[in-house]
Amino acid sequence: MSAATDDLARFSCQMTDSDRGHILIANKNLKPGHLVISNQPYARTLRPALWSDRCFQCMETLPPQGIKSSCIWYCSNRCQQIDYLLHHQVEGPILESLRTNIASDDVLSDMILVARTLRRTYSNGSQDQLYASFHSGSFGPKPIVSTADDVRALVYHEPEDMSPVTSVAQNVINAGLLGEYKSKITVQEVAKTLLCFGCNNFAVTNKLLVTIGSGVCPAGAILNHACSPNVVVTWNSKTGAQEIRCCRAVKAGEELTHSYTDAAMPTEERRHKLRGEYGFMCGCNRCVTPMLTQLAPR
């Protein structure tokens, strides 16, 4: 990550290498609730099913007097103006037809998110400046701001059958979601970015931890998985930042981990999901403890 050492030190943690690649460790004893990472998402998007219930820009619940624009809503003029500068000039004319023609909310979310991500990486920093100006408020510690290089460095694993991913990538280009960068971005690059999403992206959640969207958060993607994690991912509704906090006491030198799956799932289901979606067989203490494995329902 760009400037990772200085950024992470502000939150009392550091990145180091292990036999499993980069890991994040605590550099002092941390108490429950400690803020491990505050991370401004590189891009994020609201789930299509919530377009009429939440603001398309800030994702907060709409007030009684929302502002409608085609098939989406905003909570205020400010959010409408921010979205216009960042996205709506490209997305606005085609959102309604996409909502009609793309049956799957997950696919449509990925199409919009991958386009937002690539438009920003190809903007030569102009969108970075806009994002910085919109998130300059003073609500707690300054979030880590990821770069285009951080996004390009995200890891992924390629499935045996690439045709579904390639088909979605082609739809992104055909729909016009890449705007002025359409001629510069290939189907292969869109497909690769979509594969990175599968291994690195985060659900954006509300205060009750219900999923309301998805986000690209390279700093948060440093953390590895454990079925008995010591941190949990939350979101700050005021800043839009991802906030990762300790859910128990953590000792200095201990690796910081979160769960990629529902930690309440039975062991065999967790391992099957992790193998299929992330390409590894989980070997955390919870998965390899014989008693837990034997008791887990099949």
* Residue 142 pLDDT level (bands cut at 50, 70, 90): confident
Q: Are residues 140 and 212 in the same domain?
A: yes
Q: Are residues 101 and 47 in the same domain?
A: yes
- For residue 69, the model assigns a pLDDT of 93
* Residue 222 pLDDT level (bands cut at 50, 70, 90): confident
- Reply yes or no on whether the pLDDT at 1 is more than 60: no
* Residue 3 pLDDT level (bands cut at 50, 70, 90): very low
Q: Are residues 95 and 194 in the same domain?
A: yes
Q: Are residues 253 and 179 in the same domain?
A: yes
- Reply yes or no on whether the pLDDT at 275 is more than 80: no
Q: Are residues 214 and 296 in the same domain?
A: no
Percent of the chain with pLDDT over 90: 57
Q: How many domains does the chain have?
A: 2
The enclosing domain of 77 has a CATH number of 2.170.270.10
- Reply yes or no on whether the pLDDT at 136 is more than 60: no
- Of the listed ranges 72-76, 161-165, 262-266, the least confidently predicted one is 262-266
Q: Are residues 253 and 266 in the same domain?
A: no
Per-residue burial over 219-249, b if 16 or more Cβ lie within 10 Å, else e, is bbbbbbbbbebbbbbbbeeebbbbbbbbeee
Per-residue burial over 63-86, b if 16 or more Cβ lie within 10 Å, else e, is eeebbeebbbbbbbeebbebbeeb
Q: Are residues 158 and 30 in the same domain?
A: yes
- Of the listed ranges 51-60, 99-108, 288-297, the least confidently predicted one is 288-297
- For residue 293, the model assigns a pLDDT of 46
Q: Are residues 202 and 276 in the same domain?
A: no
* Mean pLDDT across 36-40: 91
Q: Which domain holds residue 103?
A: 4-260
φ, ψ dihedrals at 159, nearest 5°? -75, 165
- For residue 227, the model assigns a pLDDT of 76
Cβ atoms within 10 A of the Cβ of 7, count?
Answer: 21
- pTM value surpassing 0.75: yes
* Mean pLDDT across 30-46: 94
Span 61-115, pLDDT tens digits: 999 999 999 899 999 999 999 999 999 999 999 999 999 999 999 999 999 999 9
- Reply yes or no on whether the pLDDT at 235 is more than 60: yes
* Residue 277 pLDDT level (bands cut at 50, 70, 90): low
- Of the listed ranges 11-25, 86-100, 181-195, the least confidently predicted one is 11-25
Taking a C-beta distance cutoff of 8 angstroms, is the pair 137, 238 a contact? yes
Q: Are residues 156 and 277 in the same domain?
A: no
- For residue 279, the model assigns a pLDDT of 64
Q: Are residues 40 and 125 in the same domain?
A: yes
Bridge partners (DSSP) of residue 237 are: none
- Reply yes or no on whether the pLDDT at 205 is more than 80: yes
Q: Are residues 45 and 107 in the same domain?
A: yes
Q: Are residues 84 and 186 in the same domain?
A: yes
Per the prediction, the chain carries an average pLDDT of 87
